Amino acid sequence: MYPARLDDKGRLKVPATFQQYFGNLGEKRLFVTSVDRRIAQIYPMSVWKENEKFFENYKANPGAARRLAFTASDLGAEAEMDSQGRILFNPELRRELNLENQELHLYAYRGHVEVLNEAIYKERKAASLATAVEDQELLEQAGLL
């Protein structure tokens, strides 16, 4: 978990670890969005393209796929990380997710970086704490080392 903030122009300065991760992918384009209107995600464009294919081909509940794809398109925008490791977040995403003027929390998950505002971070932390022992036991039984 890494702390971060948006600057006054709506750019997120990502930690060196994430700069390295994105840099090693060999692609400059990113897709910055949210699929749940609560948490921002930064995807390498190749990963996002796989998600778009998934949305198109998901037959179990095409309405859910269509709604998530709509939300991602509505709030999302292509971006590139600049030479100082900053990524621009579009104004709609910043406003909708309340990302401005507060500490943000970043972490890598399943091929992308999640960006949580303070309220969502506290909510997730409380939920994690409430079931930590049970979750650990369950996953250790399933093979977690």
Residue 100 pLDDT: 96
pLDDT digits (tens, 9 = 90+) for 47-96: 999 999 999 999 999 999 999 999 999 999 999 999 999 999 999 999 99
Q: Output phi, psi for 83, to 5 deg.
A: -65, -15
CA dihedral 80, 84, 89, 94 (to 10 degrees): 170
Fold (topology level) of 2-118:
Chemotaxis protein chec (3.40.1550)
